[in-house]
Amino acid sequence: MSLEPGLKFLLQLPEFQLSRPPPGVTAADMRAVARPMPPFPVDEVHEVRNLQIPVPGANIAARLFRPSDRSPLPLVVHFHGGAFVFCNLDTHEPLCRSLAARSGCAVVSVDYRLAPEHPFPVPLEDCYHATQWLAAQARELSIDAGRIAVAGDSAGGNLAMGVCRLARARGGAPLRHQALIYPVTDAACDNASWRELGQGYMLSRDFMLWAWECYVPDAARRLDPLASPLRATDLAGLPPATILTADHDPLRDEAEDYAARLRAAGGAVIARRYLGVIHGFASLPFATPLANRALDDLASDLRASLAA
47-80 residue pLDDT tens: 999 999 999 999 999 999 999 999 999 999 999 9
Distance CA 101, CA 65 (A): 9
pLDDT in the model for residue 286: 94
182: left (phi over 0), alpha (psi -120 to 50) or beta: left
Based on the structure, what is the number of domains in the chain?
Answer: 1
The 3-state DSSP class for residue 3 equals coil
pLDDT at 41: 84
Residues 6+ apart with CB under 8 A from 45: 65, 66, 67, 97, 100, 101
Nearest to residue 156, comparing CAs of 195, 221, 99? 99
Active site residues: 154, 249, 279
Q: Is pTM beyond 0.85 here?
A: yes
Q: Residues of the chain whose pLDDT is less than 70?
A: none
The pLDDT of residue 58? 98
Nearest to 64 by CA among 158, 117, 137: 137
| pLDDT at residue number 180 | 98
CA distance 153 to 184: 8
Q: How far apart are CA 245 and CA 294, in angstroms?
A: 10
Domain of 256, in residue numbers: 5-305
- CATH label of the domain that carries residue 234: 3.40.50.1820
Name the amino acid, one letter, at 226.
Answer: L
d(CA 183, CA 282): 12
What pLDDT score was predicted for residue 33?
A: 81
Q: How many residues in total does the chain contain?
A: 308
Q: Is 190 helix (H, G, I), strand (E, B) or coil?
A: coil
Give the pLDDT confidence score for residue 18 in this predicted structure: 95
Is 76 within 8 Å of 274 (Cβ atoms)? Answer: no
Pairwise CA distance, residues 176 & 137, whole Å: 18
